[in-house]
Structure 1
């Protein structure tokens, strides 16, 4: 189940890293930046330029997706089965307005919507917390690092 805290993380950061595998077990890891939470059990992303991900899902629907809050170094791992809903499908038409509202300039690039039925949602956390770091300290540290990046 996708908890409210997980929904917040996904909707704040949107960038998820999707792991798939082909028939031979060759892994493909691909960042996707168009995630939405459809409901408590379903995630979706708009598919654009992802031929390997789509091909792998058709062969092996099992996926893992990681989302990370880059400031707190906390995140989630979602496991589930994915399916590709092409532009002419009912699911694509139903969800298209949700994606278009968030990414109106990209809609002509959407080939499909990939829906993931989530079977597990597990926390991720940096080992630095085991050494006593606080979330406030990490957020301040990483905010400063971002501010210090060259323009």
Structure 2
């Protein structure tokens, strides 16, 4: 299991920030990508609270899971706000545009430099020896009455 693999499989990530008074905020983000296992890019489409918090305190936590397998990662690190004046802007924007076109107005990009990570795994994996990613997918498809 690696960070990039599960970021690529995940539909949403959850960005946790804190404000200047250390009040937490968690916000879903749908346009994000892992650049290897050390860096995440998250598009700021409509996240003024997350941006304000990041500017006050640049320590963040990001979680994402593949919803059917019920496995993924929680990563922690320092974040920078990348805007159109930043040298990384063009390359980072091109990466995020692979996921969403210009209809999504990307105000800036949150560049998360990952300092630590831990895998997220549903309890059934360690409670029941017969649990596999395939059995988790089958169970989720059945429980949610959906198909792939």
Unaligned 5+ runs, structure 2: none
Q: Kindly provide the CA deviation profile for residues 100-147 of structure 1, in whole angstroms up to 9, marking residues without a partner as x.
A: 22211434x110011000001111112222320502322111012233
Name the count of aligned residue pairs.
145
Matched, 1:91 2:88: yes
- Confirm or deny: 8 A CA contact 2:38 2:115 kept in the other structure: yes
Which structure is higher in helix share? 1
Distance 1:23 1:13, change over 3 A: same
Aligned-residue CA RMSD (Å): 1.8
What secondary structure does 1:90 align onto?
Answer: coil
In the aligned structure 1, how far is the partner of 2:89 from the partner of 2:113?
15
Comparing 35-44 with 78-87, which one deviates more in the overlay?
35-44
- Confirm or deny: 8 A CA contact 1:48 1:110 kept in the other structure: yes
Unaligned 5+ runs, structure 1: none
Q: Residue 64 of structure 2 is aligned with which of 67, 87, 93?
A: 67
Partner residue of 2:135?
A: 137
Partner residue of 1:25?
A: 22
In the aligned structure 2, how far is the partner of 1:95 from the partner of 1:148?
34
Matched, 1:125 2:87: no
| TM-score relative to the length of structure 2 | 0.89
Matched, 1:53 2:73: no
> What is the CA-CA distance between 1:148 and the residue it aligns to?
5.0
Q: Kindly provide the CA deviation profile for residues 50-76 of structure 1, in whole angstroms up to 9, marking residues without a partner as x.
A: 001000101110000001121122121
Distance 1:38 1:130, change over 3 A: closer
> What is the CA-CA distance between 1:91 and the residue it aligns to?
1.5
In the aligned structure 2, how far is the partner of 1:148 from the partner of 1:73?
15
- Confirm or deny: 8 A CA contact 1:19 1:28 kept in the other structure: yes
In the aligned structure 1, how far is the partner of 2:69 from the partner of 2:11?
15
| TM-score relative to the length of structure 1 | 0.87
